[in-house]
Amino acid sequence: MRIETERLLLRPMELGDLDDFVALHADPEVTRFIRPLDRAAAKERLHRDAREWRERGHGLLAMLDPKSDAFLGRCGLKYWPQFDETELGWVLRRDAWGRGYATEVGRACIEWGFAEFDLSYLTAMVNAGNTRSIRVAERLGLSPLRNDLLLGDPVVVYRLQRDEPIRLAPYDPSWPNRFAQEQAALDEAIRSWATGGIHHVGSTAVPGLDAKPIIDILVGVDSLEASQACFGPLAKLGYLYAPYQANEMHWFCKPHPSRRTHHLHLVPTDSSRFRDELAFRDRLRASPEAAEEYAALKRDLAERFGDDREAYTDAKTAFISRVLGR
């Protein structure tokens, strides 16, 4: 099993990693918030981890520089039977700090965990004084769940749910400003690909309309193939790609499906989807009656399909088609 991220290679830890594993857990700065391991304890940990891979299909992953094969740290998933929870973890060599590697591998492990295993949520258990790891957890979309003890040590347990339930909110006058702030960041990052402009779409773009408090952004691009080159810059802004309706668009969310603040669609400007997203927004802006009817429909669907985004979206299709005059 191998996972390739933008800059790193992840693969299961092996007994051949023992020297690097011991060195990682011998650095006093690294072990300020985790337990040090001597050689015997590290070897036993790797043997135990191999059993967990066989039994559960996940465990520790070595973080490697793909160019030099240098060991940079470890990450992965661990099941804790005393909590009946699966934890996401990361520990990096000191000389690998400050480069965004923890966030990068955290996102990769989250995608792997939710794609491959029947998990309703993941946790991260962090010492309350470990401000670096707390910032990583927050960037990954985790939020505090409870205070607890892990092997006798106090920790704050952070949680990330598989997907965020549908929740509608009254119109918020700050939504246009949130779009403008994100538009500026996107313009700087992907300007050369955004040949059709960066547009505020969806319900948060319609004044007075109830909406999920998620800023929907439409970017017009020349083609799906050419715009794949901007995936890297978007990842640096915290966007996660998912192959949703991939024949029509490149779809991203931020920071994670379990806690969404932004949706981003890269759509060819010569496509009907690009025209329809703008036209539907404009018609709702121009017709308070249509906007109110749409709000009532969404409130009903949120009650019926609050945990089923596909059904919620599909049930709006007939209304959208009627507004577009199809």
Residues 150, 279 share a domain: no
CATH number, position 255: 3.30.460.10
Residues 151, 111 share a domain: yes
**CB-based contact 122:88 (threshold 8 Å):** yes
Residue 244, burial from CB neighbour count under 10 angstroms (0-12, 13-18, 19+): middle
Q: Is residue 246 part of a domain?
A: yes
Residues 243, 151 share a domain: no
* pLDDT at residue 37 in the model: 94
* pLDDT at residue 185 in the model: 97
Last residue of a domain, one of 128, 161, 194: 161
Q: Is residue 245 part of a domain?
A: yes
Residues 157, 9 share a domain: yes
Instruction: Give residue 49's domain range.
Output: 3-161
**CB-based contact 170:212 (threshold 8 Å):** no
* pLDDT at residue 160 in the model: 87
Torsion of CA 133, 138, 144, 148, to 10 degrees: -10
Extract the residue ranges of the chain whose pLDDT is less than 70.
326
* pLDDT at residue 104 in the model: 94
Q: Is residue 167 part of a domain?
A: no
Residues in the chain: 326
CATH number, position 79: 3.40.630.30
SS (H, E, C) the chain: CCEECCCCEEEECCHHHHHHHHHHCCCCCHHHCCCCCCHHHHHHHHHHHHHHHHHHCCCEEEEECCCCCCEEEEEEEEEECCCCEEEEEEEECHHHCCCCHHHHHHHHHHHHHHHHCCCCEEEEEECCCCHHHHHHHHHCCCEEEEEEEECCEEEEEEEEECCCCCCCECCCCCHHHHHHHHHHHHHHHHCCCCCCCEEEECHHHCCCCCECCCEEEEEEECCHHHHHHHHHHHHHCCCEEECCCCCCCEEEEEEECCEEEEEEEEEECCCHHHHHHHHHHHHHHHCHHHHHHHHHHHHHHHHHCCCCHHHHHHCCHHHHHHHCCC
Q: pLDDT (tens digit, 9 = 90+) per residue, 280-307?
A: 999 999 999 999 999 999 999 988 887 7
Last residue of a domain, one of 109, 134, 161: 161
Give the number of domains in the chain.
Answer: 2
Q: Angle CA(141)–CA(142)–CA(147) in degrees, nearest 5?
A: 165
Residues 105, 12 share a domain: yes
**CB-based contact 17:78 (threshold 8 Å):** no
Q: pLDDT (tens digit, 9 = 90+) per residue, 129-157?
A: 999 999 999 888 888 999 999 988 999 99
Residues 277, 187 share a domain: yes
Residues 244, 108 share a domain: no
Residues 81, 191 share a domain: no
Residues 317, 190 share a domain: yes
Paired tokens of 293 = 């009817």
Paired tokens of 140 = 């990954």
**CB-based contact 186:156 (threshold 8 Å):** no
* pLDDT at residue 309 in the model: 78
Torsion sign (Cα): 313, 317, 322, 325: positive
Q: Is residue 47 part of a domain?
A: yes
Residues 182, 156 share a domain: no
Residues 298, 271 share a domain: yes
